[in-house]
Every structure is written in structure tokens, then in C-alpha cells.
Amino acid sequence: QKEVEQNSGPLSVPEGAIASLNCTYSDRGSQSFFWYRQYSGKSPELIMFIYSNGDKEDGRFTAQLNKASQYVSLLIRDSQPSDSATYLCAVLNDMKTSYDKVIFGPGTSLSVIP
Amino acid sequence: ETGVTQTPRHLVMGMTNKKSLKCEQHLGHNAMYWYKQSAKKPLELMFVYNFKEQTENNSVPSRFSPECPNSSHLFLHLHTLQPEDSALYLCASSPWTGIDGYTFGSGTRLTVV
């Protein structure tokens, strides 16, 4: 069973701090890694994706990938109350067939305290 | 309209009813997906369509029946559902594979009574 695991939280950080969200995955053949943000009562919104080992930065967000350790993380710098949401880690498994399948983790709830 | 549109936003149905969920994407994508999101559980993939052809049925009970008449429209037909089927049903689309991520619709909150 291919799995994606995240700490459910809630993770609480003060406004202006760095929030660190972590994710591990079981399938070594995984190719693409995603972070989605989901506000309460809303649908998931893609905020970052990463394919290669290392860091990828986009504004206040940095995704980090370590394929050897099967680990992907999301750092949010200068956290704002508007960042309070559930963050879903998702992994695209090896496309051995004609279609792809994205597996989602259970999500980590982040609360940024003013 | 832009993005991925789902209707209705909310649906309450009895266990003997038949209803349909509709999804329409205005992004020119060729792959569409149905996901189920239950409380405290990860998003569960239900169906995948690539270029109108169903390429994945993730062991979904037959009381859920998908239909994809073209690359822009996706339906989920529901009949004789159970209370445990109550959940948020999300439609998503991608260009042709999910390698760059999905665009999700706003979802249909389904309650089976």
C-alpha cells in the first residue's frame, strides 16, 4: 500500500515565525511532489510542486525534497494569520501505466497566532 | 466562467434517491478526476478520465457511476447511497497527466439521510 504520511497537527506558530510542515512517502518510484492548501470549507489549492532533490522557493514558500530519505517539506516564512489552513502533501507515483495517480496525505492543520 | 465548476454546492438525498453531480472545466485540460474527502481521512481517488476514456476505477462501489461525455464535462451519478457516503466530492482536472498538479473545483457537500 503506497502511503503518504503527515503529522495531523494542529501546528501552532506565532505570526512572523517560520512554519515547517513535513511529509514522508513510501513509494521510491514517486516522481512529483505537491503541496496544497485547503481552507476550512473550501477545496484544495495547489501552492507548490517539486520534482528534483533540493529546495524550490516561491515567495514566502520553500519546498524541500530529499528522495533518498523519502521526505518532502514545506517552509512558510513570515507566517501570517491568513496562512492558517490545512496543508496537504501529495505524491505522484511512478507512471508505469498510461495514467497517473496522485496519493494525498491526511493533511497538517496550521494555525498562525496573531 | 473560469477554472473548474461543480454543481450543486450542497446536496441532501435519501438512500433511495438518484442524483447527479456535475463538473465542468474551462481550462482546456484533458484529464479529469473525482475525489472523495471524508472527515479525518485523506482525499480518496475515485475515478480518472483521460481524453474521455476512464483509466482508473479505484474499487468504487457500483452505486457511484461516472460519465465523461467530453473532455470538459464530468458527471457522477449517484443511486441507493448509504449514510457513510456523506462527504465532500471534489472534481479536479489537469492538462493530461497530473505531473504539474491539479486544479480542483469547489466541491459538492453530499449528505445522505
* % residues pLDDT > 90 (chain A): 77
Please give the pLDDT value at position B85.
Answer: 96
Nearest to A46 by CA among B11, B3, B7, B79: B3
Residues of B in contact with A103 (CB under 8 A): 42, 45
- Which of B90, B98, B106 is facing A102, going by the closest CB pair? B98
C-alpha cell at B98: 497530473
User: Mind listing the pLDDT tens digit for each residue in B23-68?
Assistant: 999 999 989 999 999 987 889 989 988 877 777 777 899 999 999 9
Read off the pLDDT of residues A41-51 as tens digits, 9 standing for 90 and up: 899 999 999 99
Whether A35 has its CB under 8 Å from any CB of chain B: the answer is no
Question: Residue A96 — pLDDT band, cuts 50, 70, 90?
Answer: low
Q: Chain B: nearest CA to A14, how far in angstroms?
A: 25
Over range B63-90, report the average pLDDT: 95
Pull the grid cell for residue A68.
Answer: 533518498
Give me the pLDDT at residue A98, please. 43
| CB contact (8 A) between residue A100 and residue B99 | yes
State what percent of residues in chain B have pLDDT above 90: 71
Whether the pLDDT of residue B1 is over 60: the answer is no
Residue A47: closest C-alpha in chain B = B101
Residue to mutate among A102, A103, A104, A109, with most B CBs inside 10 A, is A102
* A52 pLDDT more than 50: yes
**How far is it, in rounded angstroms, from Cα A30 to Cα A72?**
12
Q: Does residue A39 belong to the interface with chain B, where contact is any CB pair within 8 Å? A: no
Residue A25's nearest CA partner among A51, A6, A53 is A6
* Averaged pLDDT, B89-100: 86
Whether the CB of A56 is below 8 Å from some CB of chain B: the reply is no
Report CA Rg, chain B: 13
Average pLDDT over residues A22-35: 91
Whether A86 and A108 have beta carbons less than 8 Å apart is answered as yes
Mean pLDDT of the region A85-97: 81
Please give the backbone phi and psi of residue B84, each rounded to the nearest 5 degrees, phi first: -70, -5
B1 vs A84, residue with greater confidence: A84
CB pairs under 8 A between A and B: 60
Which of A31, A43, A98 is facing B90, going by the closest CB pair? A43
Is the pLDDT score of B76 beyond 80? yes
**pLDDT at res. B97:** 73
- Which of B6, B99, B100, B103 to substitute to test the interface with A, most A CBs within 10 Å? B99
Furthest C-alpha separation in chain A:
47
